[in-house]
Amino acid sequence: MKIDVLLDVKTTLGEGPLWDVDLQRLFFVDLADGRIFSCTANGTEIRAWDVPGKVGAIALRKDGSGAVIALDNTFSLLDFRTGEIEKVVEIESDKPNNRLNDGKTDRRGRFFAGSMDMSEESASGALYRLDCDFTVHEIDRGFVVSNGPCFSPDDRTFYFHDSWAGEIWAYDYDLETGNLADRRVFADVDQSDGGAADGSTVDAEGFLWNALVYAGKLVRFTPDGCVDRVIELPVKKVTSVNFGGPNMDILYVTSMAKPPLPRFPEDGVLRGSLFAITGLGVEGMPEPRFGT
């Protein structure tokens, strides 16, 4: 196994790595600075788009026009060619301290994203599903920091968590309807060294990988929720993970250069870097695009 700095871009709050198999490019965001990046598997041919707000996650569109973005408290569209932003729908207009956070697309093209309290104190967040016709459905609520949505390889399980709850949850997932049922504890998260569960992905073997932010670790869980592997990163504020590359065997890891709140720790010189881990002997699954 080898851990390399792919890009030292010093993202204030790097998040949401997303490998697109059609373009053979990696996308990721600087949530705090409102910027979306794209590069090749080896970190070259960098592109960037500025957006007017905090961008929690993106989903590329099947029609090739750009991306759906979780922007502040809206689901919006970004045109990659022009850089123009079109607001599709606003949520939680009565909660000015909330914004959308992490998101993922299912294999029917629906986009799931949750909201969070930016002070990370109130359980005012909810989980939403944006359908392909741009209708929004609230499907669960009561979260401080919504995080880590991802799906099992057989599409029967949806994983999700509240970062500070100390648990990762599993739901029964109905791919035909996009509905969730029977939330239960999938795995306990070790918070003994100050870490919290951040972004997740599921590999082709059905194992879940989670970034343990503020602890500088990646944890791989077995399909039954046991810890299988722990990887130490050279920075503490690792934020999210996604497999990509030509053979889907590179694990890309985002990090943050500056914590979002004063009570969280600072970090070393590699803070805010985008990392690439090779030699894991594991492959990921292609991420679906939004739309029909």
Q: Which of 180, 198, 63 is nearest to 128 (CA)?
A: 180
* Distance between start and end Cα atoms, the chain: 38
Q: In which order are the strands placed within the sheet that holds 47-50? A: 14-20, 25-30, 35-39, 47-50
Q: How far, rounded to the nearest angstrom, does the alpha carbon of residue 283 sit from its chain's CA centroid?
A: 18
- Taking the C-alpha atoms of residue 120 and residue 100, their distance in angstroms, rounded to an integer, is 13
Rg of the chain taking only CA atoms, in angstroms: 17
Residues in a beta bridge with 242: 252
Query: How many CB atoms lie under 10 A from the CB of residue 145?
Result: 24
Say if residues 179 and 139 touch (Cβ distance below 8 Å): yes
Residues in the chain: 292
**Could you give the dihedral angle defined by the CA atoms of residues 278, 222, 15 and 250, in that order, rounded to the nearest 10 degrees?**
20
Residues recognised as catalytic? 198
Distance CA 286, CA 252 (A): 13
Contacts with 278 (C-beta within 8 Å, 6 or more apart), sequence order: 1, 2, 4, 249, 250, 251
